[in-house]
């Protein structure tokens, strides 16, 4: 027998499921989750999104029904994203000003049907522009015009708040947009409406399926993805990301978000150490799609890798997780 017997045996706390549960440090709960949903104009059945198995573009009646199911599961919030019809798109996002915009109608309908469900509305112009960028282009169409974009974003945010959004969520990454939106909301008597800032949003390759879902992936079918690196963050820069996020805090954000989640857990953890604001992380469409793809090929255990990915995001410091797995995961816990 080995003469050395360790006094500290860490495996004692791993011996049975009961003790493992007692000493578990991190847990994902239904209350931590936010379900992203896509809404479209028209009627009929929800349209499947090919690159996002199990996800749909919902016409308004089906969206309201789905939000009722989500609320019944105990999920506290949904994030709504519109697919804007091509006929309503132009270079400057004029459809933002239309009261019958499908996003505003969706917010009103869901709030009326599910008043206790927290509604988060995206603030960006990519669903509305025919070029697919998150803002208005400069005169030479070589870049996004930061300050001109702010004027439209503030109008979009105020209209979303008036339609029933509890949080507006600027995802555009323009400089100064949180301060501008906070000022506009307060001036329009929406001081109670919060701002969930996409505070550290990276110019990531993980957004492809989302852009398909909302129809903003490119201005020309078959063209390469749009380069958004003049406003979204460089994936190599953690310090810059933290500085951006802390600036949003100073400008009046009520909560901060890191996007994508899984590839940027280091940013999430660093930001958790630097702010006391609530932190969100967005497990984006590409993360969702790759888990489904690997599981379909039987390379990974679907349930195990899904649950581990959510646990890792929570462990890194997220208070809330936007994930396409939310409703599915919550239903399994019921």
Phi–psi pair at 319, nearest 5 degrees: -85, -30
| Contact status, residue 52 vs residue 324, Cβ threshold 8 Å | yes
| Contact status, residue 279 vs residue 255, Cβ threshold 8 Å | yes
Quote the longest CA-to-CA distance of the chain.
Answer: 81
| Contact status, residue 53 vs residue 95, Cβ threshold 8 Å | no
Catalytic entry in 89, 228, 259, 314: 259
Catalytic entry in 89, 201, 228, 314: 201
Q: Is 201 one of the catalytic residues?
A: yes
Q: Is 259 one of the catalytic residues?
A: yes
| Contact status, residue 195 vs residue 252, Cβ threshold 8 Å | yes
Looking from the CA of 22 toward its CB, the CA atoms found within 13 Å total: 8
Which residues participate in catalysis according to the annotation? 201, 259
């Amino acid at each position: 027998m080995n003469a050395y017997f360790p006094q500290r045996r860490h495996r004692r706390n791993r011996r049975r499921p009961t003790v493992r549960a007692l000493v578990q440090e991190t847990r994902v709960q239904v209350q931590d989750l936010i379900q992203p949903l896509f809404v479209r104009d028209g009627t009929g059945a929800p349209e499947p999104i090919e690159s996002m198995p199990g996800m749909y573009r919902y016409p308004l009646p089906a969206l309201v029904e789905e939000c009722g199911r989500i609320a019944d599961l105990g999920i506290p919030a949904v994030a709504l994203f519109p697919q804007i019809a091509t006929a309503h798109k132009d270079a400057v996002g004029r459809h933002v000003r239309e009261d019958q915009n499908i996003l505003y109608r969706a917010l009103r309908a869901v709030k009326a049907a599910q008043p206790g469900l927290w509604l988060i509305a995206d603030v960006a112009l990519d669903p509305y522009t025919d070029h697919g960028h998150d803002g208005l282009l400069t005169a030479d169409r070589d870049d996004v015009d930061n300050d001109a974009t702010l004027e439209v974003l503030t109008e979009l945010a105020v209209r979303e708040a008036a339609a029933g959004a509890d949080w507006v969520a600027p995802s555009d990454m323009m400089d100064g947009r949180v301060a501008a939106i906070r000022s506009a909301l307060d001036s329009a008597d929406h001081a109670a409406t919060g701002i969930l800032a996409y505070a550290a949003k990276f110019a990531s390759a993980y957004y492809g399926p989302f852009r398909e879902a909302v129809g903003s992936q490119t201005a020309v079918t078959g063209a390469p993805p749009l380069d958004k690196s003049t406003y979204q963050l460089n994936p190599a820069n953690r310090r810059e990301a933290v500085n951006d996020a802390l600036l949003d805090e100073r400008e009046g954000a009520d909560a901060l978000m890191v996007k994508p989640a899984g590839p940027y857990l280091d940013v999430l953890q660093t930001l958790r150490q630097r702010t006391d604001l609530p932190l969100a992380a967005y497990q984006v469409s590409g993360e969702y799609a790759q888990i489904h793809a690997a599981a379909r090929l039987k390379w990974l255990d679907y349930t195990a890798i899904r649950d581990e990915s959510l646990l890792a995001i929570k462990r890194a410091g997220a208070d809330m997780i936007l994930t396409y797995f939310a409703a599915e995961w919550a239903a399994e816990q019921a």
